[in-house]
Structure 1
Amino acid sequence: GFGATLSAARARWLACDATLTRLVLDPDGLPLDVGRTARVVPPHLRRAVEHRDRHCVFTGCNAPTHWCDVHHLLEWINGGTTSLDNSALLCERHHTQVHHGYRIERRPDGRWRTWRPDGTQIHTHPGPLAAA
């Protein structure tokens, strides 16, 4: 910490009229999660999303990071936070599709899945084998 010690009574007094803002920092002290205080993704958070996702996460798309928007998985207007955990890179085409019924989800292993509006999952299939 910063060396300051507060008594419980002083903390209650300060909290009486306070607002609370959660801020999660990376090892360099840059915010990775700004909670609900900002909808627009700050540059350092965008860099973290680009580093994690590498390209558009929509199944079958490899659009580079500079073609992509940072999408809130749970929309900010519906209570979603501006955070690394609630973000995904989507190219303009797929960002539009996600806002028109398509759905993306990050699995616990970090891989992404995509569903059509009718609920069917989009799978990628390997191309035909080259003739030897």
Structure 2
Amino acid sequence: MSGRLARQSSSSENSGPIIDERKRKRMVSNRDSARRSRMRKQQHLDEIVNQVDHLKNENEQTEMQINTHMNHYLKLESENTILRTQIIELTDRLQSMNSVLRFVEEFSGVSMDIPEIPDPLLKPWQLPCPAQPMVASANLFQW
């Protein structure tokens, strides 16, 4: 029995350094794993920060484009208002001229054969002048 006890005590003495070695290796492995985990987290954070910066820049560019388009729209809307007002004014002038010509025609007895001009307010799709083709180019739509 004493041989058996001697073997157990010697094996327990030998297993102590083995357990310590395993514990030390496990600690080193855990530290490396934690370091890699921190590096992955930092890398992910850096990617997110870069993505945020990229999206902020995109938003700024989009806002600038919207402002440019809005300014262009407002300019065109203003020009359209001016043109509509001019159409009304010119239509009124034309109607006045036609009534003067009819008056002259009635009192002079000479037939002038005055054509009827459509009223743009009653029929906005009928223009008071012949339709002209509109020419557009791609350059008009580039900013």
TM-score by length of 1: 0.21
**Greater share of helix:** 2
**Which of the pair has the greater relative contact order for Cα pairs under 8 Å at 6+ separation?**
1
